[in-house]
């Protein structure tokens, strides 16, 4: 619960599932979730980016965004994967 809450920079990778309130009160940085996430993700988010492999329920002002080429490169580098796999991730943030 509260994975990545208050994140103010850097990159956190969760290789598995997260509970509620992941990315809550995020200010900056990246939270990458390879598994499932429960509800209330990105609550009160002011900045930063959350990447998930599956659709997630987010609380406004966060919403699903279009990943940029730099976002895809980040996923490829951090997850040591290929671009096709990186393209299967969804991006959430204040965009």
pLDDT, tens digit (0-9, with 9 covering 90-100), for 29-72: 999 999 999 888 999 999 999 999 998 999 999 999 999 999 99
Where are the extended beta strands (E) located within 1-95? Answer: 8-14, 28-33, 49-52, 63-65, 90-93
Core vs surface per residue 19-36: b (16+ CB within 10 A) or e: eebbbbbbeebbbbbbee
Task: Provide the pLDDT for residue 23.
Answer: 96
Q: Which two tokens stand for residue 58?
A: 């987010």
Residues 61 and 94 sit within 8 Å (Cβ to Cβ): yes
Tell me the domain boundaries of the chain.
8-93
Task: Provide the pLDDT for residue 15.
Answer: 96
Whole-model pTM? 0.95
pLDDT, tens digit (0-9, with 9 covering 90-100), for 11-30: 999 999 999 999 999 999 99
Task: Provide the pLDDT for residue 1.
Answer: 85
Cα angle vertex 21, ends 15, 22, to 5°? 30
């Amino acid at each position: 619960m509260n994975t990545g809450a208050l994140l103010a920079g850097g990159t956190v990778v969760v290789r598995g599932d997260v509970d509620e309130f992941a990315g809550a009160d995020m200010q900056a940085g990246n939270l990458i979730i390879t598994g499932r996430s429960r509800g209330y993700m990105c609550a009160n988010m002011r900045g930063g980016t959350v990447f998930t492999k599956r659709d997630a329920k987010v609380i406004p002002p966060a919403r699903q965004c279009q990943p940029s080429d730099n976002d895809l490169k980040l996923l490829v580098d951090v997850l040591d994967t290929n671009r096709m796999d990186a393209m299967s991730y969804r991006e959430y943030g204040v965009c």
